[in-house]
Each structure stands twice: as structure tokens, then as C-alpha cells.
């Protein structure tokens, strides 16, 4: 399983420092889930996944994804 975290670019054009988009995929081939996480949830999620031998792909700071975390999961 691969887990990627991406910064969120809001509809207003700014990049949110509070929210991240988590994308989980199986061996990088098929995307299985997407979810918006705040900073605390992101830290807990990374710690939990590392404890269970997941591969963390990184923060991907240069690839902001357009989204609205208040709208809900994609």
C-alpha cells in the first residue's frame, strides 16, 4: 500500500497550511481512497501507518491539489 499526502489548494487560490489530501493506492496502480485531513489527523495517520509497515510516499509539497476540505471526502 502506498500513502501520499498532498497540500490542498482552496477554491480561493491559496494553499492551505491546515489541510492535506491523503491518497491511498495499491502499489501505485489503482487509487483506493481519498480523504481530507487536518494537521493533527495527518500526524496521527502517518504515525499509525508507519507502525503497521505501510510505505509513506512523502508530503508531495510541490503538487497542490484543488479541493474544498469542508465539502467532504472525494
All three cell numbers of 48: 499509525
Q: What is the distance, to the nearest Å, from the Cα of residue 71 to the centroid of all Cα atoms in its chain?
A: 15
Q: Where are the domains of the chain?
A: 2-66
Q: DSSP character for 48?
A: H
Per the listing, cell 480561493 goes with: 12
pLDDT at 74: 47
pLDDT at 41: 93
Taking only the tens place, the pLDDT of each residue in 18-72 is 888 888 877 667 777 888 899 999 999 888 888 887 766 666 666 666 666 666 5
All three cell numbers of 23: 491518497
* E strand spans, the chain: 2-9, 15-26, 30-38, 55-58, 65-66
Amino acid at each position: 500500500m502506498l500513502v501520499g499526502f498532498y497540500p490542498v489548494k482552496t477554491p480561493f487560490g491559496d494553499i492551505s497550511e491546515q489541510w492535506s489530501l491523503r491518497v491511498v493506492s495499491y502499489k501505485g496502480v489503482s487509487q483506493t481512497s481519498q480523504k481530507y485531513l487536518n494537521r493533527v489527523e495527518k500526524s496521527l495517520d502517518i504515525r499509525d501507518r508507519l507502525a503497521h509497515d505501510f510505505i509513506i510516499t512523502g508530503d508531495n509539497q510541490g503538487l497542490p491539489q484543488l479541493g474544498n476540505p469542508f465539502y467532504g471526502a472525494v
